[in-house]
Amino acid sequence: MKKLILLFAVIFTVTISAQLKYQNGMKKAFSHWEKGEMVKASQLFERIMKAEPKKWKPAYYAATIEILGSFGLKDEAILKAKLTKAQEFLDVAKSNSENNPEILITQALLNTGYIAFDGQKYGMTLSGKNAQLYAKALVIAPNNPRVIMSNAEWNMGAAKFFGKSTKPYCDEIKKAIKLGKEEKIEEEFYPKFMESRALEVLKQCEK
Partner 1 sequence: MKRILFLLFTIYPFSLIAQTTVSGKVTDSKNVPILGANVYLDGTYDGTSTNEKGEFTFKTAETGTQTLVVSFISFETYIKTANVKTLNKLKIKLRDDVNSLDAVVINAGTFEAGEKGKVTVLKPLDVVTTASALGDFVGALQTLPGTAAVAEDGRLFVRGGEAEETQIFIDGARVFTPFTPTTNNIPTRGRYSPFLFKGITFSTGGYSAEYGQALSSVLALSTIDEPDQEKTDISLMTVGLGIGNTQKWKKSSFSINTSYINLAPYNAVFKDRNTWNKPFQSANGEMVFRQKFKDDSMLKLYSAYSYSDFDVIQDDINFDDGLRFALQNRNLYFNASYKNKFGNNWKYETAISYTNDNSNIKVIDDQIKSNENSYHFKAKLRKRFSSRFRLNFGAEYFITNYDESYTPTNNNKFDYGFDNNIFASFVETDIFFSKNLAAKVGVRAENSELLNEFTVSPRASISYKSGKNSQFSLAYGQFYQNPNNEFLRFTQNLKAQNTSHLIANYQSVKQGQIFRIEAYYKDYNSLVKFDNNSTSFNDNQPNFNSTFNNNGFGFAKGIDVFWRQNGKIKNTDYWISYSYLDTERDYRNYPNAAQPNFASKHNLSIVTKHWIEDWKSQIGFSYQFASGRNYTNPNEAGFLNSQTKNFNNLSFNWAYLIDQQKILYFSVNNVLGTKNIFGYNYKNTPNMNGNFERQARIPNADSFFFVGFFWTISDDNKSNQLDNL
Q: Which residues bind partner 1 (CB under 8 A)?
A: 2, 5-6, 9-10, 13, 17, 21, 25, 39-40, 43-44, 46-48, 50-51, 74-78, 80-82, 85, 120-122, 124-125, 127-129, 131-132, 134-135, 158, 162-163
Looking at beta carbons only, is 121 or 192 nearer to partner 1? 121
Q: Smallest distance from the beta carbon of 142 to partner 1, in angstroms? A: 16
Comparing CA positions, the residue from 106, 127, 80 lying closest to residue 191 is 106
Looking at beta carbons only, is 49 or 177 nearer to partner 1? 49
Looking at beta carbons only, is 164 or 181 nearer to partner 1? 164
Backbone angles phi, psi at 192, to 5 degrees: -105, 160
Q: Which residues contact 95 (CB under 8 A, 6 or more apart)?
A: none
Looking at beta carbons only, is 79 or 198 nearer to partner 1? 79
Helix, coil or strand: residue 188:
coil
- Tell me if 59 sits within 8 A of 42, measured CB to CB: no
Q: Smallest distance from the beta carbon of 99 to partner 1, in angstroms? A: 11
Burial (CB < 10 A; 0-12, 13-18, 19+), residue 29, is buried
